[in-house]
Amino acid sequence: MGRSKNHKIPFIRWKVKLKEKVVAKKQGKDPENVKKHLVDIYRERGWIWMSIYFLDLWLRYLEAKFKSREKIVLMDRYFFHGLLLTRGLKRKFFEKIIPRPTKSFLINAPPEIILDRKDEASEENIRDFYNEARKLSNRFKIEEINNSKELEVVVDEITEKIKNT
């Protein structure tokens, strides 16, 4: 459900493509603009953007829920990722309108490991992101998983937790 190119709402597909073009153009010219874009990923979103984004997530959620014949459906990022981009009244509103998953995991590693894996943000952005995610875990049942281990160990840990549901 994350930031993929298969959004259900054309406006979001268009906005993502436009943003990719702008970033690609800036990457070749000014490193400061690229850094500004990476920090921009973590900025708070407005009511209109969040409403459209959550409608798109709902459409994806319903499609997965009703098309799947499986007992378990895994979704990356889910609605929680969008909630991390809101504050105050907006967050309270959108928290109330999302479906509650049976199991949720926060896959976490120390900022230095994340920065080593991909250069998408500053250490401060990463720490803020996980602090906000932990705040959500007070309202939703979200289990934190240490992702600094070998991938197979992390996958086995999550698989075991899902089996015990």
Among residues 3, 89, 6, 2, the alpha carbon closest in space to that of 46 is found at: 89
**Rounded CA separation 148/126 (Å):** 15
Among residues 46, 26, 28, 48, the alpha carbon closest in space to that of 37 is found at: 26
Q: Would you list the domain boundaries of the chain? A: 10-163
Which distant-in-sequence residues (6+ apart) come within 8 Å of 120 by Cβ?
Answer: 38, 41
pTM score = 0.70
pLDDT in tens, 76-120: 778 888 888 888 999 999 999 999 888 888 888 888 888 887 666
Residue 33, pLDDT score: 57
pLDDT in tens, 115-152: 887 666 678 888 888 888 888 888 888 889 988 888 89
93 φ, ψ to 5°? -65, -55
Report the percentage of the chain scoring pLDDT > 90.
9
State how far the alpha carbon of 78 is from the alpha carbons of 22, 82, 100, in Å: 26, 8, 10
**Rounded CA separation 155/68 (Å):** 22
- Over residues 20-43, the mean pLDDT reads 60
- Over residues 71-78, the mean pLDDT reads 76
Residue 115, pLDDT score: 81
Residue 129, pLDDT score: 84
Looking at this protein, which amino acid is placed at residue 47? Answer: W
Question: What torsion do the CA atoms of 50, 122, 126, 13 make, to the nearest 10 degrees?
Answer: 30
**Within a 10 A sphere around the Cβ of 153, how many other Cβ atoms?**
12
pLDDT at 1 over 60: no
Residue 111 backbone zone (phi > 0: left; psi -120 to 50: alpha; other: beta) = alpha
Residue 35, pLDDT score: 55
